[in-house]
């Protein structure tokens, strides 16, 4: 029986074989990997991954799709976690000693940003992440200071990950086709993370970009003095998108110094 994509779950199923194989090549699954796929849908990518893996995990919210997966794959090949990825404890997946979790998925556009922030809490147990996302979101993730795409998402994710846009995927690769282009992003938890309190950094960045048309001194008025901005290496007269990650971390450490 054909599964009808559900708009409330943000379902757009990838059907292009060439794109699927390009994604698998980018992921480079290896025998012995502990891999979890978010939103396997009709299992197009799952099937290809399982050709390279002995076993994998999936997290799926749609109960009809969970039932299809249960019929299609034995438990010794596929562990199905039925539920919301936004609430899922990725640290609960058992990983062999000395190994880390690999995460993949075609993420629903309507929850992509909150899901990325949820996963950031598990960066310490993750080896890498490969996701299909709306192209505009990926461009914001990898944006450099001084560009229009650079913002809160750029700073907070670049603090935790080294990221790269691998390639663009057109709407014609999906059923039903979305209204926008998609992109594949690789996210590897950085080994050079600058020390800062996550909640404090988030508060600083959110305050800074809440009025991005204004200069930084006005955006963070009441939180920092002009002298503190200068101490952090920031020109008080520039807009928030001109301020780099290191400077935002420096501001966070003014509020809450690291030991």
The band of 210, judged by pLDDT with boundaries at 50, 70 and 90, is very high
pLDDT digits (tens, 9 = 90+) for 164-176: 999 999 999 988 8
Write down the pLDDT at residue 177: 86
Give the separation between CA 142 and CA 4, rounded to whole angstroms. Answer: 33
Give the separation between CA 259 and CA 256, rounded to whole angstroms. Answer: 9
Domains of the chain: 7-189 (3.40.50.150), 198-255 (1.10.8.100)
Give the separation between CA 141 and CA 129, rounded to whole angstroms. Answer: 13
User: Residue 80 has which token pair?
Assistant: 């199905």
DSSP-assigned letter for residue 60: E
- Cβ pair 171, 177 in contact under 8 A: yes
Find all residues with CB under 8 Å of 171, minimum gap 6, and list them.
Answer: 177, 178, 179, 180, 181, 182
Mean pLDDT of the chain: 93
Write down the pLDDT at residue 55: 97
pTM of the model: 0.91
The band of 110, judged by pLDDT with boundaries at 50, 70 and 90, is confident
Find all residues with CB under 8 Å of 134, minimum gap 6, and list them.
Answer: 109, 112, 178, 180, 181, 182, 183
Has residue 11 got a pLDDT over 60? Answer: no
pLDDT digits (tens, 9 = 90+) for 57-94: 999 999 999 999 999 999 999 999 999 999 999 999 99
């Amino acid at each position: 029986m054909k599964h009808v994509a559900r708009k409330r779950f943000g379902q757009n199923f990838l059907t292009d074989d060439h794109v699927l194989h390009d994604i698998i090549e980018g992921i480079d699954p290896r025998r012995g990997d502990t891999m979890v796929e978010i939103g396997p849908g009709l299992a197009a990518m799952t099937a290809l991954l399982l050709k390279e893996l002995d076993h994998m995990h999936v997290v799926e919210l749609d109960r009809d799709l969970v039932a299809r997966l249960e019929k299609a794959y034995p438990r010794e090949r596929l562990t199905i976690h039925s539920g919301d990825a936004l609430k899922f404890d990725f640290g609960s997946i058992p990983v062999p000693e000395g190994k880390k979790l690999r995460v993949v998925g075609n993420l629903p556009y309507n929850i992509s940003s909150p899901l990325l922030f949820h996963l950031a809490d598990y960066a310490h147990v993750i080896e890498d992440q490969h996701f299909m996302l709306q192209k505009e979101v990926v461009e914001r993730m990898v944006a450099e200071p001084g560009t229009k795409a650079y913002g809160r998402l750029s700073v907070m994710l670049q603090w935790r990950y080294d990221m790269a846009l691998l390639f663009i995927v057109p709407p014609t690769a999906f059923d039903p086709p979305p209204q926008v282009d998609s992109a594949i992003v690789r996210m590897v938890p950085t080994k050079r993370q600058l020390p800062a309190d996550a909640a404090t950094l988030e508060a600083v960045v959110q305050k800074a970009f809440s009025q991005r048309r204004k200069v930084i001194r006005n955006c963070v008025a009441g939180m920092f003095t002009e002298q503190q901005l200068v101490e952090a290496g920031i020109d008080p007269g520039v807009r928030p998108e001109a301020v780099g990650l290191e400077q935002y971390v420096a501001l966070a450490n003014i509020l809450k110094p690291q030991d």
